[in-house]
């Protein structure tokens, strides 16, 4: 099981230098990936509910320049709030800047006021996300014009730079629709905690969908949990182990507000490593 970290990005008072230091520390501690949240125009202040005060793709470009091995990604970027052509260009550029260390984590979003503020279609956000992901797969895979689709098409145009290797797409969400999206467009799926048993059921359903549509293909499984230092470390390590047993190949942990995150990150890495 790989241990990953969701970097704190929930307060306008947090200096960017904190993210740099934490990304470097995560790399040194053996975390395999670091993730950043995304909200463009939330209806209330950035905090525990709305993370993403720094735009994640720009921030990933900055962090890629100060790390060497750490994988960097979004958990998760709200796709229907973005222009998919521009998003493809940004992700392809990041793939080059990071030497192939970027993962695009995607979701459909949930905040209806945020969609309304941006003039986006909340009701059709799932369909918009599917169409955007189809276009992203086409462009990032070196596809050329013309491209005909239900929503995003183009007759003429050159897309560059094509990523040197495929950019992994991670789909977040617990619903059947999210699982189907992960199977159709993703390389991995990220779930949210309910219980190890509930997570195991979602993993079983994911594997059923893979067998129904593309037998033998591997869709990796990730769980995102939170620990702000309140619960005992032993309990957190037990939870990580239980979710790994339930089918999580990777566990991404959000460690609360940025004050104290470095210490919690070190403590968690040591505890998980001690379980061997």
Condensed to tens digits (0 to 9), the pLDDT of residues 113-166 reads: 999 999 999 999 999 999 999 999 999 999 999 999 999 999 999 999 999 999
pLDDT over 90 (residue 202): yes
At 276 the pLDDT is: 66
Q: Identify the CATH number of the domain in which residue 227 sits.
A: 3.20.20.30
Q: What's this model's pTM, rounded to 2 decimal places?
A: 0.96
Count how many domains the chain has.
1
Q: Residue 16 belongs to what domain range?
A: 2-274
What b/e sequence results for 229-263 when a residue is b if at least 16 CB atoms lie within 10 Å of its CB, and e otherwise?
Answer: beeeeeebbebbbebbebbbebbbbbbbebeebbe
Question: What is the Cα–Cα distance from 112 to 131, expressed in whole angstroms?
Answer: 20
pLDDT tens-digit map of 54-91:
999 999 999 999 999 999 999 999 999 999 999 999 99
- Give the per-residue pLDDT at 107: 98
Average pLDDT for 92-116: 98
Which whole number is the average pLDDT over 244-268? 94
CB 161 within 8 A of CB 92: yes
- Residues near 230 by Cβ (< 8 Å), separated by ≥ 6? none
């Amino acid at each position: 099981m790989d241990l990953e970290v969701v970097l704190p990005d929930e307060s306008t008072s947090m200096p960017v230098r904190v993210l740099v230091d934490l990304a470097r520390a995560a790399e040194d501690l053996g975390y395999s990936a670091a993730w950043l949240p995304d909200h463009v125009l939330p209806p209330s202040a950035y905090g525990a509910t709305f993370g993403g005060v720094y735009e994640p793709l720009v921030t990933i470009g900055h962090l890629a320049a100060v790390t060497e091995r750490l994988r960097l990604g979004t958990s998760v970027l709200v796709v229907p709030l973005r222009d998919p052509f521009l998003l493809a260009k940004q992700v392809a550029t990041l793939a080059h800047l990071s030497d192939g260390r970027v993962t695009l984590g995607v979701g459909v979003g949930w905040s209806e006021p945020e969609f309304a503020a941006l003039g986006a279609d909340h009701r059709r956000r799932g369909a918009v996300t599917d169409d955007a992901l189809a276009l992203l797969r086409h462009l990032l895979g070196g596809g050329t014009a013309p491209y005909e689709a239900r929503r995003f098409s183009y007759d003429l145009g050159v897309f560059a730079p094509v990523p040197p290797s495929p950019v992994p797409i991670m789909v977040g969400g617990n619903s059947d629709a999210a699982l189907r999206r992960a199977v159709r467009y993703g390389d991995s799926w990220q779930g949210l905690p309910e219980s190890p048993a509930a997570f195991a059921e979602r993993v079983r359903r994911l594997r059923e969908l893979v067998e129904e549509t593309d037998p033998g293909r591997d869709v990796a499984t990730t769980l995102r949990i939170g620990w702000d230092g309140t619960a005992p470390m032993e309990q957190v390590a037990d939870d990580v182990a239980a979710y790994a047993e339930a089918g999580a190949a990777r566990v991404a942990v959000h460690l609360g507000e940025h004050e104290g995150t470095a210490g919690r990150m070190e403590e968690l890495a040591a505890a998980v490593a001690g379980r061997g």
